[in-house]
Amino acid sequence: MSDVAKAELHRYLQEGRDAMVWKLGGLSEYDLRRPLTTTGTNLLGLVKHLAGVEAAYFGAVFGRPFPENHPWMASDAPENVDMWATAEESSEELVALYKRVWAHADTTISELPMEASGQVPWWRKASNPVSLTRILVHVTAETLRHVGHADIVRELIDGSVGHRDDNDNMAEGNSAWWHSYRENLEKVASSFAGPELAARSSLED
């Protein structure tokens, strides 16, 4: 793979990283930690998780372990411990950790050729060995997926939306326009409602 393609993949990863951190801006420690889905998705937990993802994939996978030892990054750590921040972990601490992980990952990306070979211990044997190309694509895809989660969670918290700080990439409508737009979507969706919706509504009343 050419240096140009490598740089382009790296750029997309960095855009995802920046967007993830941006989604935290201006919120209280409470709002950053609020579990807003039935599976507990929360903004600070997404940052913590992605720090662990990059530390592992761009670290030990290529024999370049991340130098910091965090128990929640261990392979035998309790389930989902990387998906939420403890009371002792501040947002500043976790964002700073995430950025230190970026620096470590960026060194791996810049110093290794895209065909460099690594081993992912938690993947099945048939999926190994892996190349840096595959891991860079994999981590970029995972990062952007979690940024999408952050988009929804942030909108649920305070209505803030947007692609990134300098480009929201949203339709140019005011609050009245968006209200009308959503009402229209609800109307269309309701036209497909069957008996099961009526039954569900009666249970909720």
Q: Which tens digit of pLDDT belongs to each residue from 173-189?
A: 888 988 899 998 988 88
Which domain covers residue 205, as residue numbers? 173-205
Q: The CATH number of the domain where 7 resides is what?
A: 1.20.120.450
pLDDT of residue 204: 62
The answer to whether residues 182 and 194 belong to one domain is: yes
- Judge contact between 170 and 161, C-beta under 8 A: yes
Between the two ends of the chain, the Cα-to-Cα distance in Å is 59
Give the burial class of 165: count Cβ atoms within 10 A of its Cβ; 0-12 exposed, 13-18 middle, 19 or more buried.
Answer: exposed
> What is the C-alpha to C-alpha distance for residues 24 and 15, in angstroms, rounded to an integer?
15
pLDDT of residue 202: 58
Instruction: Report the number of distinct structural domains present in the chain.
Output: 2
The answer to whether residues 86 and 179 belong to one domain is: no
The answer to whether residues 75 and 138 belong to one domain is: yes
Residue tagged 């992912």 (tokens): 120
In this prediction, the residues of the chain whose per-residue pLDDT falls under 70 are 1, 197-205
Largest Cα–Cα separation, the chain = 61
The answer to whether residues 165 and 108 belong to one domain is: yes
pLDDT of residue 34: 97
The answer to whether residues 104 and 73 belong to one domain is: yes
The answer to whether residues 165 and 136 belong to one domain is: yes
The answer to whether residues 149 and 197 belong to one domain is: no
> What is the C-alpha to C-alpha distance for residues 63 and 120, in angstroms, rounded to an integer?
10
pLDDT of residue 168: 75
